[in-house]
Amino acid sequence: MIRVNEHYAKLQSSYLFSEIAKRVKAYQAEHPDKRILRLGIGDVTEPLPPACVAALHQAVDEMASRSSFRGYGPEQGYDFLREAIARNDFQARGAEITPQEIFVSDGAKCDTANIQELFTDKLTLAIPDPVYPVYVDTNVMAGRTGKCVKGRYKGLVYLDSTESNGFVPDLPEQPVDLIYLCFPNNPTGATATREQLAAWVRYARENRALILFDAAYEAFIRDPALPHSIYEIEGARDVAIEFRSFSKTAGFTGTRCAYTVVPTSTMAYTKKGEPVALNPMWNRRHTTKFNGVAYPVQRAAEAVYSAEGQAQTRALTDFYLGNAARIRAAFTELGYSLTGGENSPYIWVNVGKDSWKFFDKLLKRAQVVTTPGAGFGRCGQGYIRISAFNSRENVEEAMTRLRKVLK
């Protein structure tokens, strides 16, 4: 008899963004004449930077000729991209990361989901609340939690991120083994200072714990005092894995390219307490289960690091931050308290009411899609997340509609 993985039965009925899409689709089917404006899922709208487009075209031409055609590439990514990443994203910031520590992939979502297969199922897992649902759901699938009771899985240590701690969770009161952190944060848009990250690194070193640091939104940081990478913190190399993505930095959500950094000094431990390096383990996993990102896509990602690419991606993220400023201004004027949107493309608004009811109200009365905070965890109840990823015209139209409905 083929047995099913019964841990799946513990999951909420659908993935947050699928549930939103379902509600929006149902509403649109009933009101085909209404123009819906989507500020829910963080999906980019603006075209690829011209430097990336030129690199893509050139790489496609190479693939069209026998002499420059390429078949399978290295699973970890081509050297040209790994070297550009190490130099520009880390060494330029004083973080000693080498190309061999970088694994190019098709998405940070997949990597944050897949990385947990390197660890035992018997560990204490610390999860911020609210949180990007992939971190929780993939651990539920792997059997690391008990049942979900009143929105919280048994066996997880939840790290509350609330107004009182500025949406940066405090260190856990009990020892934990694996910690997910994301800054600039999805969903709250909060950022962590150097001192705050240093406290987490210290904690991980003292407890032989590991931090999974999701930095998918680092390109939106404008405050020069804020760290872009956890490896800017001394000692982090031994206790942290970092995830990055070209999705939001360079408009690659449909193009697919990301990377994960697993330093050679990052360790996990056997039952007897012997250290095991995670870099060769992840290399083993990656080479067994992944066949690499398409050559033209890696060339497009490499172009992000050219002088033109840097200027163009900066302009792109500036553009979305301009949207974020408009969203912040509208909600502030309407009297709501909020966070995010300054070094982040997400704005986290305290709506003081049930998140899903507020979501429905905005959908039905203004035809504006947001993300209900409760979908990110219990501490998200009473909030909505607004994404700044859209055209300027749509964001301005959405704010005009919301001003009418919420005034």
228: contact with ligand MLT by CB under 6 A: no
Distance CA 170, CA 132 (A): 18
Give the interface segment with ligand MLT, choosing from 40-48, 76-84, 192-200, 321-329 (CB under 6 A): 40-48
Q: Are 135 and 158 in contact (CB under 8 A)?
A: no
Name the maximum alpha-carbon separation found in the chain. Answer: 65
41: contact with ligand MLT by CB under 6 A: yes
Least distance in Å: CB of 235 to ligand MLT? Answer: 29
Instruction: Pick between residue 186 and residue 279 the one whose CB is nearest to ligand MLT.
Output: 186
Least distance in Å: CB of 88 to ligand MLT? Answer: 22
In order of 37, 44, 54, 60, 99, the CA distances from 324 in angstroms are 15, 13, 29, 35, 34
- Which of 109, 144, 286, 299 is in the footprint of ligand MLT by CB under 6 A? 109
Q: Write out the binding residues for ligand MLT, residues 43-62 only, by CB under 6 A.
A: 43
Instruction: Pick between residue 176 and residue 212 the one whose CB is nearest to ligand MLT.
Output: 212
Instruction: Pick between residue 90 and residue 135 the one whose CB is nearest to ligand MLT.
Output: 135
Give the interface segment with ligand MLT, choosing from 39-47, 49-57, 92-100, 328-336 (CB under 6 A): 39-47
Least distance in Å: CB of 17 to ligand MLT? Answer: 6
Give the interface segment with ligand MLT, choosing from 35-43, 68-76, 173-181, 205-213 (CB under 6 A): 35-43
Instruction: Pick between residue 186 and residue 355 the one whose CB is nearest to ligand MLT.
Output: 186
| Size of site (CB under 6 A) for ligand MLT | 6
Distance CA 57, CA 101 (A): 29
Least distance in Å: CB of 216 to ligand MLT? Answer: 7
Instruction: Name residues whose C-beta falls within 8 Å of residue 37's C-beta, 6 or more positions apart in sequence.
Output: 367, 368, 369, 390, 394, 397, 398, 401
Least distance in Å: CB of 87 to ligand MLT? Answer: 26
Least distance in Å: CB of 41 to ligand MLT? Answer: 4
Instruction: Pick between residue 82 and residue 109 the one whose CB is nearest to ligand MLT.
Output: 109
Instruction: Pick between residue 191 and residue 279 the one whose CB is nearest to ligand MLT.
Output: 191
Q: Are 141 and 115 in contact (CB under 8 A)?
A: no
Instruction: Pick between residue 268 and residue 362 the one whose CB is nearest to ligand MLT.
Output: 362
**Nearest CA-CA partner of 187 in 169, 213, 167, 160:** 167
Q: What is the dihedral of CA 134, 259, 197, 315, to 10 degrees?
A: -100
Per the structure block, which two tokens stand in for 15? 């993935």
Distance CA 235, CA 233 (A): 6
Q: Are 218 and 259 in contact (CB under 8 A)?
A: no
42: contact with ligand MLT by CB under 6 A: yes
Instruction: Pick between residue 209 and residue 386 the one whose CB is nearest to ligand MLT.
Output: 386
186: contact with ligand MLT by CB under 6 A: yes
Asked if omega into 99 is within 30° of 0 (cis), the reply is no
Instruction: Pick between residue 109 and residue 299 the one whose CB is nearest to ligand MLT.
Output: 109
244: contact with ligand MLT by CB under 6 A: no
In this chain, which residue has its C-beta nearest to ligand MLT?
42
Least distance in Å: CB of 132 to ligand MLT? Answer: 6
Instruction: Pick between residue 249 and residue 367 the one whose CB is nearest to ligand MLT.
Output: 249
Least distance in Å: CB of 107 to ligand MLT? Answer: 8
CB burial of 125-163 (b: ≥16 within 10 Å; e: otherwise) equals: bbbbbbbbbbbbbbbbbeebbeeeeeebbeebbbbebee
Q: Is 404 exposed, middle or buried (0-12, 13-18, 19+ CB in 10 A)?
A: exposed
> At 182, which helix (H) or strand (E)?
strand 178-182
Instruction: Pick between residue 247 and residue 266 the one whose CB is nearest to ligand MLT.
Output: 247
Q: Are 192 and 182 in contact (CB under 8 A)?
A: no
Give the interface segment with ligand MLT, choosing from 38-46, 63-71, 196-204, 299-307 (CB under 6 A): 38-46
Per the structure block, which two tokens stand in for 213? 């640091």
Least distance in Å: CB of 159 to ligand MLT? Answer: 18
Q: Which residues pair with 275 in a beta bridge?
A: 269
Please state whether beta strands 267-269 and 152-153 pair in parallel, antiparallel, or not at all (unpaired).
unpaired
Q: What residue ranges bind ligand MLT (CB under 6 A)?
A: 41-43, 109, 132, 186
